[in-house]
Amino acid sequence: MFRSFDPIEFILVIPVLLWGLSFHEFCHAYSAKLLGDDTAERAGRLTLNPLSHLDPVGTLMIIILLITGFPYLVGWAKPVPVSSRHFKNIRRDMIIVSIAGIAGNLLTAITFVTIARFIPLSVLGNAGEIFFRRMIEINVCLAAFNILPIPPLDGSKILYGFLPFEWLKFYYFLERYGFYILLILVFTNSVRYIMSPVMSFFLRLVGYI
């Protein structure tokens, strides 16, 4: 997305990322609370305050990525703690909590696409147009990335809810090495090709294309 460092775009994208990451984690915490688990709330994660959700190393990676445009980096926020023992239906409720963050990002994108249909982006000026486009694109990107069925991403927990019990051993094996698999996909840039059709689908879903 960033071919060279643009200080104006950097300034505009920072609040977009703060919102996208914070709202994503808030949606996890809020859905868990609704389903009977207050673990995230007691940990101070039922909030939109970015300081409660940002991971120091993950945030640093995001900043380096934005400044350098280096494609082989990935940033992250702190995962929301969830205790499934509080759920009435563990599999179903874990799927709901996992989908909630992705849904939050897509809801953000849909909201800004809808606003843009009533307010021409040209009226907002160059900075306003960049802000709106990045709010849509980055939130769709976060949704597409997190839905990948690779631990520790949300997609892996969604997949877990649908797997037959006899396949769970393979899932637990994958969970141990999921982070390393994800790093390999990022460093080889393979994740871009995996995410591309998902992003295209989500962009059409929110009405951006």
So which residues are the catalytic ones? 25
Structurally, how many domains does the chain consist of?
1
List, in order, residues 6 or more apart from 101 with CB less than 8 Å away: 24, 25, 27, 28, 146, 154
In a domain, 2, yes or no: no
In a domain, 57, yes or no: yes
pLDDT tens digits along 158-181: 988 887 877 777 777 778 888 888
Structure tokens at 19: 């919102």
Domain coverage including residue 201? 7-205
Query: What's the confidence (pLDDT) of residue 69?
Result: 61
Q: Is the peptide bond before 152 cis (omega within 30 degrees of 0)?
A: yes
Query: What's the confidence (pLDDT) of residue 1?
Result: 47
In a domain, 108, yes or no: yes
pLDDT band at 58 (very low <50, low <70, confident <90, very high): confident
In a domain, 41, yes or no: yes
Structure tokens at 62: 């995001």
Cα(143)–Cα(108) distance, rounded to whole angstroms? 10
In a domain, 151, yes or no: yes
pLDDT tens digits along 74-129: 678 899 999 999 999 999 999 999 999 999 999 999 999 999 888 877 788 888 88
Q: Average pLDDT of the chain?
A: 88
Query: What's the confidence (pLDDT) of residue 123?
Result: 80
Query: What's the confidence (pLDDT) of residue 2?
Result: 46
Query: What's the confidence (pLDDT) of residue 71?
Result: 54
Query: What's the confidence (pLDDT) of residue 30?
Result: 98
Structure tokens at 169: 């051993």
Cα(67)–Cα(63) distance, rounded to whole angstroms? 6
In a domain, 153, yes or no: yes
pTM over 0.85: yes
